[in-house]
Amino acid sequence: MKPKKRDENEAARGKGGETHQIAGGDVPVLTTQQGTPVADDQNSLKVGLRGPTTLDDFQLREKIFHFDHERIPERVVHARGYAAHGYFENYEPLPDITSADLFQRAGEKTPAFVRFSTVAGNKGSADLARDVRGFAVKLYTQQGNWDIVGNNMPVFFIQDAIKFPDLIHAAKAEPDRDFPQAQTAHDNFWDFISLLPESMHMIMWAMSDRAIPRSFRFMEGFGVHTYRLVTADRKSTFVKFHWKPKLGMQSVVWNEAVKINGADPDFHRRDLWNAIQSGNFPEWELGLQLFDDKFADEFEFDVLDATKLIPEEDVPIKRVGRLVLDRCVDNFFAETEQAAFCTNNIIPGVDFTNDPLLQGRNFSYLDTQVKRLGGPNFTHIPINAPKCPFHHFQQDGHMAMINPKGRVNYEPNSWGGVEGGPRESPETGFHSFPAEEKGRKVRERSASFSDHYSQARQFYISQTKSEQRHIADALVFELSKVQKLAIRERLVSHLPNIDVKLANRVVKGLGLQGKVHAIASAVVPRQDLKPSKALSIALNPPKTFAGRKVGALVTDGVDSALLNALKLALETEGASVEIIAPTVGGVEASDGTRVVADQKIGGGPSVLYDAVAVLTSEAGARSLLKNGAARDFIADAFCHLKFIGWVNAAMPLLEKAGIVHDLDEGCIELTGAKSVAQFLAACRRIRHWKREEAVIS
């Protein structure tokens, strides 16, 4: 059968009624992978119209064979992630700190690729899991690729890489039942953690609001380990890397996180995609915390211990450049999925320290990527290839794409000149910092790693009351999912070493009987570490509503002047409005104009927005009284401490949502431009924390 082409968009029909779209004009001919043109992509080759398929249908076999092999193993951790391209722009030359080329010229831009991720869940898990977020940055410098493979928390659960497989086994789904997915709220995780006092500092972070970020754009990033920066004359300075988000930090509340996971499991990836596609490029500043050997020797904790941080108050952060993400990937698989970040990708001017966690990571990433990407040639994949010139004699292997020409594939050789291939460069090549090392060969933990609670306490006391409550609530939530009482009790026995009030709160929340006894600690926890303001999200508010989104609930008859005033005010701030209407077809405004909707009520619950405006007409409000999703829109926004702009006409709906008698300063009546400005000013505070006491039991 030769289907007839009708026009570009219209399909021809085959004998069985199937759709055939025919090439022609600008539309290229479909081919096999070998380039053979395809006449019919709807039917396999059969003996007779209803007969068996023949083995010589090379077209069918090639297509299905390739499909069968589309998947590669997902990352063993950090499987769910999302990435974008951008650049790092250096502020000023830093030759006194490092010889790294990207830091030598003011204003120079280095291409970058950044992947954010959760740790525990599978590739298809939801974005708002309570989890650490990966923050992996690949910088394509002129001296090779430099990867800063960090997280959104500055410390880690374990001190030695030998415990990593245990940590991840315990955190991921339990092996017999393969659940829970992307959750640490289960026996195995808390059993392991309760036996791992070194994890307590990280547990405070992982139970804090940092573990449920509102957006990748509003997260800090940390290199975690102490690294070295090294100058041309081999002077070393210790460094910790920080990424500071330009739009400030923001997290969601737990009940919101749970609901976002249902309403939009892709919340974080959609947010990053939309921000970049709309030209609102997310930005972070790179901060260096620089210190010398003297500081390292005198600091109360070991700088090689990844469960410790250095407070910004002790060593201030020097901001040296900005990271801007300005381009989404063209193809998720080719770029995001195949990206291979390795801690051991460093460049001249940067070096490792002896942090035993970092040393283990340097083996792990390269090793896992050989398997994940199918062989040793994953640097041939464009996303992993350096963007500077590179020459070496490594060859062959699966999928070798970049193959040397000529006869010589070894060195030293005597061929000379171009024919002899690349040579060493003592001048520009990588030199390890010549650190002096001595000591017995031991399998032991240094006593300088033994204080497990002091910084956990410091983090806890640096939080606002609300943030402290969230940590306690998170512990209660997670431990309430633990079935074995002994595990709950053992975990709780660590808490008095951090803060007695925290311990009591969790004991009460779990309904544990009797007094909680503090577990013996290796060293007496310090009580004298001062709170560090930098550790709190709430104490460092964004000061802007830019990059945030208001959800405006509208019905027919919405006041168009008010809606336009709201839109204008938000756009001027760099924020946006999304319209939620009874149908996605939109509504007719008071002046007869059509307002296009972005979401249908129910498809756009208030958990997806940073603040809400209820702009219904009175008739519209009445028509929604039996609409549960409309009620939840308002009730949830209130419970999640959001600022609510409302119009008097919406009163019946506010009443139905049960908030009329509780309207507080966070609920602002919108009557015109002036009140819109007040609403926006309030929104800059992101949440009306004062309401929290009123909405929690």
Sign of the four-CA dihedral 677, 674, 599, 624: positive
Instruction: Rule CB under 6 A: say whether 365 interacts with ligand HEM.
Output: yes
From the CB of 131, what's the least distance to ligand HEM, in Å?
12
Q: Which of residues 80-119 bind ligand HEM (CB under 6 A)?
A: 81, 115, 117
Please say which residue, 369 or 455, places its beta carbon nearer to ligand HEM.
369
Piece of the chain touching ligand HEM by CB under 6 A; list 72-80, 212-220, 666-674, 686-694: 72-80
Residues 180, 120: contact at Cβ < 8 Å?
Answer: no
Q: HEC profile for 105-139? A: CCCCEEEEEEEEEECCCCCCCCCCCCCCEEEEEEE
Question: Is 504 assigned a catalytic role?
Answer: no
3-state secondary structure of 246: coil
Q: How far apart are CA 649 and CA 671, in angstroms?
A: 11
From the CB of 371, what's the least distance to ligand HEM, in Å?
8
Please say which residue, 20 or 85, places its beta carbon nearer to ligand HEM.
85
With CB under 6 A as the contact rule, the residue among 76, 399, 619, 625 that binds ligand HEM is 76
Please say which residue, 119 or 507, places its beta carbon nearer to ligand HEM.
119
Name which of 549, 554, 589, 600 is nearest 573 in CA terms.
Answer: 549
Total binding residues for ligand HEM by CB under 6 A?
28
Q: Which of residues 398-417 bind ligand HEM (CB under 6 A)?
A: none
3-state secondary structure of 261: helix
Instruction: Rule CB under 6 A: say whether 224 interacts with ligand HEM.
Output: yes
With CB under 6 A as the contact rule, the residue among 136, 239, 538, 686 that binds ligand HEM is 136
Residues in CB range of 36: below 8 A, 6 or more apart: 59
Instruction: Rule CB under 6 A: say whether 138 interacts with ligand HEM.
Output: no
Instruction: Rule CB under 6 A: say whether 186 interacts with ligand HEM.
Output: no
Instruction: Rule CB under 6 A: say whether 164 interacts with ligand HEM.
Output: yes
What's the CA dihedral at 62, 67, 69, 71 to 10 degrees? 160
Instruction: Rule CB under 6 A: say whether 134 interacts with ligand HEM.
Output: yes
Piece of the chain touching ligand HEM by CB under 6 A; list 42-50, 76-84, 234-242, 446-454: 76-84
From the CB of 169, what's the least distance to ligand HEM, in Å?
12
With CB under 6 A as the contact rule, the residue among 102, 129, 148, 149 that binds ligand HEM is 149
Please say which residue, 266 or 665, places its beta carbon nearer to ligand HEM.
266
Among the residues of 219-298, which ranges form H helices?
Answer: 254-263, 267-277, 293-298
Q: Which of residues 369-388 bind ligand HEM (CB under 6 A)?
A: 369, 372
Question: Is 268 assigned a catalytic role?
Answer: no
Q: How far apart are CA 494 and CA 583, in angstroms?
A: 52
Binding mask 290-329 for ligand HEM (x = CB under 6 A): ----------------x-----------------------
Instruction: Rule CB under 6 A: say whether 252 interacts with ligand HEM.
Output: no
User: Active-site residue among 20, 78, 470, 688?
Assistant: 78
Please say which residue, 164 or 299, places its beta carbon nearer to ligand HEM.
164
- Max Cα–Cα distance, the chain, nearest Å: 90
Q: Kindly list the distances between the CA atom of residue 647 and the CA atoms of 9, 562, 620, in Å, as whole numbers in the listed order.
A: 47, 10, 12
Instruction: Rule CB under 6 A: say whether 161 interacts with ligand HEM.
Output: yes
The neighbour count for residue 143, using CB atoms within 10 Å, is: 20
Residue nearest to ligand HEM as judged by C-beta position = 134
User: Active-site residue among 90, 145, 151, 377?
Assistant: 151
Q: What is the DSSP letter of 357?
A: H
From the CB of 124, what's the least distance to ligand HEM, in Å?
16
Q: Which of residues 560-619 bind ligand HEM (CB under 6 A)?
A: none
Instruction: Rule CB under 6 A: say whether 536 interacts with ligand HEM.
Output: no
Displacement of CA 364 from its chain's centroid (Å): 21
End-to-end Cα distance, the chain:
71
The neighbour count for residue 608, using CB atoms within 10 Å, is: 21
Residues 83, 116: contact at Cβ < 8 Å?
Answer: yes
With CB under 6 A as the contact rule, the residue among 361, 488, 494, 548 that binds ligand HEM is 361
Instruction: Rule CB under 6 A: say whether 339 interacts with ligand HEM.
Output: yes
From the CB of 66, what's the least distance to ligand HEM, in Å?
23
Instruction: Rule CB under 6 A: say whether 156 interacts with ligand HEM.
Output: yes
Instruction: Rule CB under 6 A: say whether 642 interacts with ligand HEM.
Output: no
Q: How far apart are CA 497 and CA 200, in angstroms?
A: 10
Piece of the chain touching ligand HEM by CB under 6 A; list 74-82, 320-328, 501-509, 580-588: 74-82
Q: What are phi and psi of 354, to 5 degrees?
A: -85, 15
Instruction: Rule CB under 6 A: say whether 360 interacts with ligand HEM.
Output: yes
Q: CA angle at residue 560 from 557 to 566, to 5 degrees?
A: 125
Residues in CB range of 537: below 8 A, 6 or more apart: 209, 210, 249, 250, 251, 467
Q: How far apart are CA 188 and CA 167, in angstroms?
A: 10
Residues in CB range of 632: below 8 A, 6 or more apart: 605, 606, 657
Instruction: Rule CB under 6 A: say whether 368 interacts with ligand HEM.
Output: yes
Piece of the chain touching ligand HEM by CB under 6 A; list 62-70, 149-157, 312-320, 414-422: 149-157
Instruction: Rule CB under 6 A: say whether 213 interacts with ligand HEM.
Output: no
From the CB of 138, what's the least distance to ligand HEM, in Å?
9
Element (H, E) at 284: strand 283-291
Instruction: Rule CB under 6 A: say whether 449 interacts with ligand HEM.
Output: no
Instruction: Rule CB under 6 A: say whether 340 interacts with ligand HEM.
Output: yes
DSSP assignment of 484-522 equals -HHHHHHHHTTGGGT-HHHHHHHHHHHT--SPPPPPP-S
Catalytically active residues are 78, 151
List residues near ligand HEM by CB under 6 A.
Answer: 75-78, 81, 115, 117, 134, 136, 149-151, 156, 161, 164, 224, 306, 339-341, 357, 360-361, 364-365, 368-369, 372
